[in-house]
Amino acid sequence: MKYVALISSILLVICLAILVPQNRSLTQENIELREQFAGISQAWSGAADVREFSSVEELKEWLAQDDTDEIPFVEGTFDCDDFARTLFYRAFYDGYIIGYYTHGTHARNICFIGEDFYSIEPSYDGVYYLGKTWE
């Protein structure tokens, strides 16, 4: 019985010797993660003040200054869904609400402007009127 207690104590000391430095390492990792997340969170909370485009002109001006359409189209690597996702994120980051939409195998973006509904082709800044928001 004494040997079991002695061996258990030795194993506990060995485990602590192994785990304590790892815990310090994890703590340091958690601190770095928290700092990174604080930066991301601050960026997103700043970007969370979003709104719809107020006019087609505003949408087209925003599309003109955004360079998503200048990214090379590479079938299967960076194609329609990647363009639509990129434009979606960039619009949100700049404070605008647009949607990501797929029809069949084609992805694109959509947005509301007032009571009008538009489609955006992100690979060439195309803007198409689709109808009223309630149609």
Residues lying near Ca ion in the complex (CB under 5 A): 63, 66, 69, 125
CB of 84 to Ca ion, least distance (A): 14
Name the residue whose CB lies closest to Ca ion. Answer: 69
CB of 93 to Ca ion, least distance (A): 15
d(CA 17, CA 19): 6
CB atoms within 10 A of CB 83: 22
Residue with Cβ nearer Ca ion (35 or 61): 61
d(CA 114, CA 118): 10
CB of 132 to Ca ion, least distance (A): 26
Tokens of 15: 């485990």
Residue with Cβ nearer Ca ion (43 or 64): 64
Residue carrying structure tokens 């194609």: 79
CB of 66 to Ca ion, least distance (A): 5
Residue with Cβ nearer Ca ion (29 or 57): 57
Residue with Cβ nearer Ca ion (63 or 120): 63
> Cα dihedral sign for 30, 35, 36, 39?
positive
Residue 129's H or E segment, with its range, is strand 126-132
